[in-house]
Structure 1
């Protein structure tokens, strides 16, 4: 039975969305094609109707996840950036990796992925950095803030005790507030 182009695109989008959430929760490489397809109610064999390979799916997951980041959207003003940073560095974000930023959740896997995946990630990271650099009028500060945010979230997720997690997040928010206050 042939499906319409619309049905095929809807299935592809469901697969991307589901794969992004699964990858951010448990790692992309840890979930096989059969598991990715089962999550949307299809068999593993149907996967290749949508993507030539799992690496191609990973490239698309990275594109989708990073392109949807509210922190990379223009226009970005200082107040909005500060609100985004507060939300990013929150216990809610620490405890909800599947609904949050893909960078801390998938960064290590992206670093080991084939070149197309890393190029896609670089494109969106540069887009994010440029949005922040335009707002802050300082490209180096934008990279430093981005790195601080991702690192703080990774470290907070590594810790077992919520009060330790909160301590890391609070210290990072205070550090960022100071850096933002000192910048032009």
Structure 2
């Protein structure tokens, strides 16, 4: 039985969405093709009608997730909106639920270990986000510093076992970012 083109697109979207959540929760390299397909109720063999390799799937996840991050965090910002957005970013909910959060803290190490094509793809989206923030903040270096602080704060908070320490990391980072945003423009 042949499936319609729309069915194939819907299946591919389900696979992308499910694989992205799985990758952000457990790491992309930890789950095999069979496990990724089983999560959406299909056999491992069906994978290759959507992607030529697991690396191609990872590239698609990076593209999808980082473009979504840019849409949520980058467009139409002013300083107040940016600060509110960052406050929402630096929350315990984001620490505790990586599958529904930003891909950068969850997949950053795997992106860094990927081939040049995936790293260039990630660079494209990260640079767009940084440029958006630089425009709002009127500082290229401040945008890089805040972007790095946000991602790093989540990584450190997720590394810690004690919720009180996790909250301290997030609160300290948010307070410092608030001072940086309110400070003199350079």
- Relative to the length of structure 1, the TM-score reads 0.97
In the alignment, which residue of structure 2 is the partner of 1:85?
A: 86
**What's the counterpart of residue 17 of structure 1?**
17
SS at match of 2:51: coil
- What is the distance in 1 between the residues matched to 2:148 and 2:112? 15
- Alpha-carbon displacement from aligned partner over 1:69-100 (angstroms, at most 9, x marks no partner): 1112x211111110110011111110010000
- Within 1, Cα distance between the matches of 2:178 and 2:77? 17
Counterpart Cα distance in 2 of 1:52 and 1:80: 41
Structure 1: gaps of 5 or more residues: none
* Counterpart-to-counterpart distance in 2, 1:97 and 1:54: 21
How big is the shift at 1:154? 0.3
Shift of 1:39: 0.6
* Distance in 2, Cα, partners of 1:160 & 1:78: 33
Match of 1:52 in 2: 52
What is the number of equivalent residue pairs in this alignment? Answer: 183
What's the TM-score, normalizing by structure 2? Answer: 0.96
Matches within 5 A, 1:30-179: 30-69=30-69, 70-72=72-74, 74-179=75-180
Per-residue Cα deviation, 1:102-159 (whole angstroms, up to 9, x for no partner): 0000000000011221111111101110110111111111010000000000000000
- Moved beyond 6 Å, runs of 4+: none
Tell me by how many angstroms 1:183 deviates.
3.7
